[in-house]
Amino acid sequence: MRRIFAVMSTLDVTLIQTDLAWHDPAANRARLQKHFGGLAGKTDLIVLPEMFTTGFTMEAESVAEAANGPTVVWMREQAAALGAVVTGSIATRDGDRYYNRLVWMRPDGTHETYDKRHLFRMAHEQDHYSAGVRRLIVELKGWKMLPLVCYDLRFPVWSRNRAGDAYDVLLYVANWPERRRYAWQTLIKARAIENLSYCIAVNRVGRDGNGVNYTGDSAAIDYLGQPMMPPSEQEFATTVTHDKAALDGFRARFPAHLDADEFQLIGPSGR
């Protein structure tokens, strides 16, 4: 049965930027739950970092959870209690494969998943996890959203807002290190501008078990490429309101998307 969605003129998105305990899912769930305080009924979507239960780890065989493991159960409980979608990625075991899997958990307990397509070669992520083969467009209160994971940010074709598969908000969850923060800051603005969309990008802070430093710089960017909140290197939970009428109005006045090049993805990523 086709779902009918009422389009809400505004969408409240909460970005949670936090440190992560290395390979300690229970500690990370408890830490994140503290950030949830006071959010019940006050936000539509809560965005957590990439691999928010473990940090960005290549030890998939020892830390990955089952596809419906403890963290997915926890997300279901939290989404129901908060009355909001909760999303972020988890090291996941599904059958005989491992995935860096984003979970989109709704308050009604249903969920969808996106497996990270672009695996970070420089950390040999492709040797430990399998790549996803499809994009996921989700709908929340009439807003269409494309959730992606970290290294996907560097590949504009995969992120492209295209006819028949269009979205209003582009969303990235990440463990993006300090030494490449300029690329992070630049690319999230570029993705918003070129796709005439809002862009939400949530990163972590702190130092992981491999000695890699993270400075956050989580951001909400509007369709003009302008920040909607100040940058920070500290832990925080911040809610940003997105305006559908403003987005639609800009697209009507500046319909650059109508001149976009047509293309078709070929190979596994185009299935």
Catalytic residue numbers, as ranges: 50, 116, 150
CB atoms near residue 81 (< 10 Å): 14
Single-letter amino acid code for the residue at 35: H
- Separation between Cα atoms, residue 213 and residue 208, nearest integer Å: 7
Largest Cα–Cα distance in the chain?
Answer: 52
Beta-strand pair 169-173/45-47: unpaired
In terms of phi and psi (left: phi > 0; alpha: psi -120 to 50; beta: otherwise), the region of 179 is: alpha
The pairing of beta strand 65-66 with beta strand 85-94: parallel
Alpha carbon 125 to chain centroid distance? 18
DSSP-assigned letters across all residues of 202-261: E--EEE-TTS-EEE---EEE-TTS-BSS---SS-EEEEEEEEHHHHHHHHHHS-GGGGPP
Phi, psi of 6 (to 5 degrees): -85, 130
Q: Are 103 and 139 in contact (CB under 8 A)?
A: no
Give dist(CA 268, CA 133) in Å, integer.
6
